[in-house]
Structures are given as structure tokens and as C-alpha cells.
Amino acid sequence: QIPANIASVNDYIPYARERMSAAAWAYVSGGAADELTMADNEAAFQRLRIQPRVLACLAGASTELELFGSRLPYPILLAPVAYQRLAHHDGELASVLGASALRATMVVSTQASVTLEDLSASAQSPLWFQLYIQPDRDFTIALIRRAEQAGYQALVLTADAPVNGVRNREQRAGFSLPEHIQAANLRGMRPPPAQHAAAGGSGLFGGPLPALAPTWEDLRWLVQQTRLPVVLKGINTAHDAQQALDNGAAGLVVSNHGGRTLDTLPAAIDALPSVVQAVAGRVPVLLDGGIRRGTDVFKALALGATATLIGRPYIYGLAAAGAPGVAHVLHMLRTELEVTMALAGRPRLHDIDASAVMR
């Protein structure tokens, strides 16, 4: 089922593209506007060089870490990605099985195309739930309770997408969600207020969205609603990192949403150091955006990330080969990370410090 000539994550791209409709491919693989941030997410990793230590003792080498009280075998998680049935008919169910096989934690999107309960019923590895605060707060609470009840271990509040980015590639491809694919977790939600233009206004600012966009107050509210750790996703500056901690976040994800929201944000790996400095070890700082190699994971850890997440790479594996494709992508990245750690003479995660990269 897995094509024999696949040796790296990006080798999945042509197979995934072939199996998806052109419009769905544009949705998954595209970014915002000119896709400068999306491209830079990868390019910035490629600009960094590793500084190795030879003849280091490798006995006891390990990629294990602890995160929010759980032991993870290696620092790679599956990022929340909406509507995975666009990539494969089993959608998120196949991703959960792939993650389970490799004991990886998966972050399930609010906009998953399979219900969070069906996913937890199939999962053999930890799940976190990514939350978009809904206009209807009672419905939002109900979602949180469902995630708690189903055994999800953390909530990830996505802060960087109160409105959709300008997704030109999707527009050109004429993407719209096929009727048989839906946000399964949001069934029964009162529809958001209609996009009527307020008096004197027009477009985005004339409609209801600005007033519905979550604020820091909503983060404080959310933290009080749950005993799960609340991780804030979409942090890019020291200022926002400080605000996040002041308002109760238990962890951060440095992320630009894979370059899908605001184009010309800095690459995630370039935004990481200032966030790490502001956080000063008080909470875990995760990173996503542009990870395509084990060396990328290594570089993120060297610049202060506790762990990393991948988005498109596992969706490409999913589209091309279902659950085994997801597992294979995780396996390749994990193996590359181990090889990198061995060759760089950093046998444990805490050995991977700033001295391991050259900027």
C-alpha cells in the first residue's frame, strides 16, 4: 500500500496530489495570499546549520520526554487539521490509527470530519482537542465537556484564525466543502449570525465576525471552565507569549497556522527564540510549521521548543496510504531525529541546546 520508492516525507506529495481532487489539494497544500510565510516556514529550517559534537557517548540515547504529565516516546505530535475526509474516506479515523501505531499524540480539530467520540473510541494513544471558541458559548462549553468526557488530555485554543486568511490558491481552484464532508463535532450548533452588513459598513468589518472574535478575556474564561491544560496556539511574539501566561495558558504553540492565515508573518522557527526567551521555561513551548525532516525537529528543539507538531506531512501520508501512511510519516521523522541526535552527538533531548545550531 505504501509506494516502495518513498524514503522521505516530501516523497508522499505526488502520491497525495494524485489521489485528491484539484480543489481539495489546493485546500490542503495551499497557504495565504502569495504563500511567502508558508514557503519561509520550510526555507528558514533549511537556512539553519547543525553544529555537531563527535565521539560523544551515545549510551542511554533517548527521544523520550514528559509533557503535561504524560510520557511521550518522541517530540512529534499531529497538529489539528480540519476535514481530513477530504484526503481519505476514513479521514481522522485513519489518522488516529496511524498515530496509535506510533504512540503519537494527535490534536483533533474542532472542524474534524469525524466526531471526537468516535476518534477517542479508536485511539490507543493520547488525544488533545483543538478548540475554536464558538459564537454560542453554551455550545462551546458542551464541546469542552464532550472532550473531557471522552478522555482528551489537553485543550488547544487556536488564537490566530478569528477570520479566514486570504486563500488565493483555494479561490482559484474553486474550493468549497463537498456536501458529504462536515464539521461532525459542530452538528446541532445554532448557525452563526448571518453575514449582514451593519449600517454604514461593508465586507468583513460590516459583518458580525469582528464582535465574535475571541479575546484574552475568553482565554481566562476558558481556563476557568476546565481542569485540562489550555495550550494557546498561534503565538509569534514575546508580547503575546507574556499575555498568554498572564491569562492562564499552560503551554504555547509557536505557529503561523502553516502560513494559511496572515501572509508575511515570519517563519515559525524564526519566531521561536523570542517566545522562548519571554516564557523563560515557565510552560512548554511547542512549534509547528515547515517541519519536513528530523533535522527540522532537532533545530526546533535546539532553539528552545519542547516538542513539535506536523500538519501537512501526515495529511499527505493519509491521502496516499491511509493509516499506514500516517504511521510511516511519523516513523520516518522519528528515525531521522534519532540519526540526527546520534550524528550531532546529542543523545538525549536535553543535550539539544542552542550550541547545536548555527544561525
Contact 43, 327 (CB under 8 A): no
Among 41, 105, 247, 306, indicate the residue that binds ligand FNR (CB under 6 A): 41
Is residue 32 at the binding interface for ligand FNR, with CB under 6 A as the rule?
no
Instruction: State the minimum distance, in angstroms, from the CB of residue 238 to ligand FNR.
Output: 20
Among 85, 167, 257, 293, indicate the residue that binds ligand FNR (CB under 6 A): 257
C-alpha grid cell for residue 284? Answer: 512548554
Is residue 79 at the binding interface for ligand FNR, with CB under 6 A as the rule?
yes
Among 167, 312, 328, 346, indicate the residue that binds ligand FNR (CB under 6 A): 312
Among 134, 140, 255, 295, indicate the residue that binds ligand FNR (CB under 6 A): 255
Instruction: Give the span between the Cα atoms of 47 and 165, in whole angstroms.
Output: 27
Instruction: Give the span between the Cα atoms of 238 and 78, in whole angstroms.
Output: 25
Contact 24, 87 (CB under 8 A): yes
Asked if residue 289 belongs to a known ligand binding site, the reply is yes
Instruction: Give the span between the Cα atoms of 157 and 154, in whole angstroms.
Output: 10
Q: Which of 41, 123, 112 is nearest to 83 (CA)?
A: 112
Instruction: State the minimum distance, in angstroms, from the CB of residue 315 to ligand FNR.
Output: 6
Is residue 28 at the binding interface for ligand FNR, with CB under 6 A as the rule?
yes
Q: Which position's Cβ is nearest ligand FNR?
A: 311
Instruction: State the minimum distance, in angstroms, from the CB of residue 61 to ligand FNR.
Output: 26
Cα–Cα separations (whole angstroms), residue 192 to 4, 34, 322: 47, 30, 33
Instruction: Give the span between the Cα atoms of 124 and 103, in whole angstroms.
Output: 7
Asked if residue 255 belongs to a known ligand binding site, the reply is yes
CB of 29 or CB of 340, closer to ligand FNR: 29
Asked if residue 146 belongs to a known ligand binding site, the reply is no
Contact 350, 64 (CB under 8 A): no
257 is catalytic: yes
Within 176-229, where are the H helices?
A: 203-206, 209-212, 216-225
Is residue 357 at the binding interface for ligand FNR, with CB under 6 A as the rule?
no
Is residue 95 at the binding interface for ligand FNR, with CB under 6 A as the rule?
no
Contact 62, 338 (CB under 8 A): no
Catalytic residue among 88, 89, 257, 331: 257
CB of 107 or CB of 323, closer to ligand FNR: 107
Among 125, 140, 158, 295, indicate the residue that binds ligand FNR (CB under 6 A): 158
Which stretches of the chain are assigned E, i.e. beta strand? Answer: 49-50, 65-67, 70-72, 76-78, 106-108, 127-131, 155-158, 230-235, 251-254, 285-288, 307-310, 357-358
* Residue showing cell 521548543: 305
CB of 229 or CB of 347, closer to ligand FNR: 229
Q: Which of 357, 151, 194, 165 is nearest to 270 (CA)?
A: 357
* 3-class DSSP state of 281: coil
CB of 130 or CB of 247, closer to ligand FNR: 130
Is residue 16 at the binding interface for ligand FNR, with CB under 6 A as the rule?
no
Binding to ligand FNR, residues 286-305 (CB under 6 A): 288-291
For 184, list phi and psi in degrees, rounded to 5.
Answer: -60, -30
- How many chain residues bind ligand FNR (CB under 6 A)? 23
Instruction: Give the span between the Cα atoms of 302 and 269, in whole angstroms.
Output: 10
Instruction: State the minimum distance, in angstroms, from the CB of residue 91 to ligand FNR.
Output: 12
Residue positions in the annotated binding site?
Answer: 27, 80-82, 109, 130, 132, 158, 167, 233, 255, 257, 260, 288-292, 311-312
Residue positions in the annotated binding site for FMN?
Answer: 80-82, 109, 130, 158, 233, 255, 288-292, 311-312
Applying CB under 6 A, the residues found at the interface with ligand FNR are 27-28, 41, 79-82, 109, 111, 130, 158, 233, 255, 257-258, 260, 288-291, 310-312
Which residues have a catalytic role annotated?
257
